[in-house]
């Protein structure tokens, strides 16, 4: 093992993420536990209505992960075996894995160097005659060019499903991210901007898409079946398709409702932390601060700084190790999909296929950004980055 060039310090670890849980969150969950109704029920319905109201969309369907939301959204818009779906390579594996689960083929695409998002011209470049859908990912909470992507997809007869796992709240022009495509998928995983522990939401303006997603989220059982056949009792149900078990519990939904009440407050906290990190890091010549769209419209789910590796004597990985020695938790978002074994073996991708994603991946580090981070913690993060950069200045 190589010796760190900066001495380790005996300070408390600053984790990469710490979920902000309030006493109201705890009370909301406790109330459901005491109510006797833990599965999908009134809390879930209320969460769906409040979430739809927050975004200003007609329909929201709560499910038990962001991955489930993406899977159901694609299924509901009609992605089937034999279709192609364009997905950026710089994303989490579930953005593309769900395409495979439907028997379709993920067609990977490169990203824009500045925003790390899928650009419309790359969609044109990767287009195939079987392309049924495009999945833009709002990386780190920075909005994709939705008007450009929508125009490009529609001109060729494809639909758009937004991967909005990072994008609450993100604005794209005058509308929230997640309200452009035929459907969008949000994630409420523990590290996301609001959480239900595990959870997700499909949003759509299309009632048929919402109805299909709701049916397939719960075993393919249709609500209509109850009325249609004048059921002999409350125990009676009919299964119209081979569905999934993706419904959200009321325990989780109660936490989601409580967190949603604070979504703007939590966002302001993350934005303030981002501004402090920017101010401290913009004077470190070896570091590039995150991209933004002229200010106030990013969710700040992640703070992805990039290293000017040519100005350093160490690699990104060594930089991460040294931050670790100084007590700073970090992560990397993401290892490009085409570098993972299954994407190479099953889909034939190779190192070198997406040069922008590969180059940016090799120099990115996600720093801690979570509501509740103290000024002292933020200063420690900045000082640690500056210290490691100074120690490895070329």
Q: Which residue do the tokens 């913690």 mark?
A: 377
Of 163, 269, 322, 360, the one binding ligand PLP by CB under 6 A: 163
CB of 57 to ligand PLP, least distance (A): 19
How far apart are alpha carbons 199 and 248 in whole angstroms? 7
Of 189, 226, 237, 291, the one binding ligand PLP by CB under 6 A: 189
Give whichever of 135 and 385 is closer to ligand PLP, judged by the CB atom.
135
| Active site (annotated) includes residue 268 | no
Helices (H), the chain: 23-35, 42-55, 66-77, 94-101, 120-126, 146-155, 207-217, 224-228, 250-261, 263-281, 316-325, 341-347, 355-361, 375-391
The token duo for 253 is 């939904």
299 binds ligand PLP (CB under 6 A): no
115 binds ligand PLP (CB under 6 A): no
Applying CB under 6 A, the span of 62-70, 124-132, 286-294, 306-314 interacting with ligand PLP comes to 62-70
Q: Are 209 and 77 in contact (CB under 8 A)?
A: yes
249 binds ligand PLP (CB under 6 A): no
CB of 46 to ligand PLP, least distance (A): 21
For residue 188, give the nearest of 297, 67, 334 by alpha carbon: 67
Give whichever of 137 and 253 is closer to ligand PLP, judged by the CB atom.
137
Q: Are 131 and 82 in contact (CB under 8 A)?
A: no
377 binds ligand PLP (CB under 6 A): no
Give whichever of 65 and 330 is closer to ligand PLP, judged by the CB atom.
65
State the residue number with the nearest CB to ligand PLP: 66
CB of 228 to ligand PLP, least distance (A): 33
CB of 164 to ligand PLP, least distance (A): 9
How far apart are alpha carbons 137 and 135 in whole angstroms? 6
Applying CB under 6 A, the span of 19-27, 88-96, 267-275, 312-320 interacting with ligand PLP comes to 88-96
137 binds ligand PLP (CB under 6 A): yes
SS (H, E, C) 85-115: EEEECCCCCHHHHHHHHCCCEEEEECCCCCC
64 binds ligand PLP (CB under 6 A): no
Dihedrals phi, psi of 65, to nearest 5 degrees: -165, 165
187 binds ligand PLP (CB under 6 A): yes
Applying CB under 6 A, the span of 92-100, 149-157, 201-209, 322-330 interacting with ligand PLP comes to 92-100
How far apart are alpha carbons 206 and 309 in whole angstroms? 46
Of 200, 243, 290, 368, the one binding ligand PLP by CB under 6 A: 200
Give the total of residues touching ligand PLP (CB under 6 A).
14
176 binds ligand PLP (CB under 6 A): no
The token duo for 16 is 């990469």
User: Which of these is catalytic: 18, 132, 175, 192?
Assistant: 192
How far apart are alpha carbons 135 and 200 in whole angstroms? 16
Residues annotated as catalytic are: 192
């Amino acid at each position: 093992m190589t010796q760190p060039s900066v001495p380790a310090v005996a300070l408390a670890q600053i984790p990469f993420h710490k979920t902000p849980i309030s006493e109201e969150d705890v009370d909301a969950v406790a109330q459901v536990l005491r109510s006797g109704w833990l599965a999908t029920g009134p809390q879930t319905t209320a969460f769906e209505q409040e979430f739809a109201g927050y975004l200003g969309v007609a329909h929201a369907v709560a499910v038990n992960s962001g991955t489930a939301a993406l899977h159901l959204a694609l299924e509901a818009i009609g992605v089937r075996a034999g279709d192609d779906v364009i997905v950026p390579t710089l994303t989490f594996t579930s953005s593309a894995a769900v395409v495979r689960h439907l028997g379709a083929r993920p067609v990977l695409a490169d990203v824009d160097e500045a925003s790390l998002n899928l650009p419309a011209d790359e969609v044109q470049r990767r287009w195939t005659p079987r392309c049924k859908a495009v999945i833009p990912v709002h990386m780190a909470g920075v909005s994709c060019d939705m008007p450009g992507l929508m125009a490009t997809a529609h001109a060729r007869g494809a639909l758009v499903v937004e991967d909005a796992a990072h994008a609450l709240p993100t604005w794209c022009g005058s509308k929230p991210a997640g309200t452009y495509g035929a459907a969008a998928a949000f994630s409420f995983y523990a590290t996301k901007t609001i959480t239900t522990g595990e959870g997700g939401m499909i949003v759509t303006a299309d009632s048929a898409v919402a109805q299909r997603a709701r049916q397939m989220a719960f075993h393919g059982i249709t609500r209509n079946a109850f009325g249609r056949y004048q059921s002999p009792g409350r125990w009676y149900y009919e299964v119209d398709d081979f569905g999934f078990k993706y419904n959200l519990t009321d325990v989780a939904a109660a936490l989601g409702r409580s967190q949603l009440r604070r979504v703007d407050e939590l966002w302001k906290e993350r934005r303030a932390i981002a501004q402090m990190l920017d101010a401290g890091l913009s004077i470190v010549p070896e570091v590039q601060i995150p991209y933004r769209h002229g200010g106030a419209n990013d969710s700040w789910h992640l703070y992805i700084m990039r290293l000017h590796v040519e100005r350093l004597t160490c690699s990104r990985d060594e930089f991460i190790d040294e931050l670790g020695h100084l007590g700073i938790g970090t992560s990397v978002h993401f290892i490009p999909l085409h570098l993972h074994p299954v994407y190479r073996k099953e889909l034939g991708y190779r190192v070198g296929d997406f040069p922008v994603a590969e180059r940016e991946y090799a120099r990115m580090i996600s720093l801690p950004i979570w509501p509740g981070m103290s000024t002292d913690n933020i200063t420690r993060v900045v000082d640690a980055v500056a210290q490691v950069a100074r120690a490895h200045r070329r």
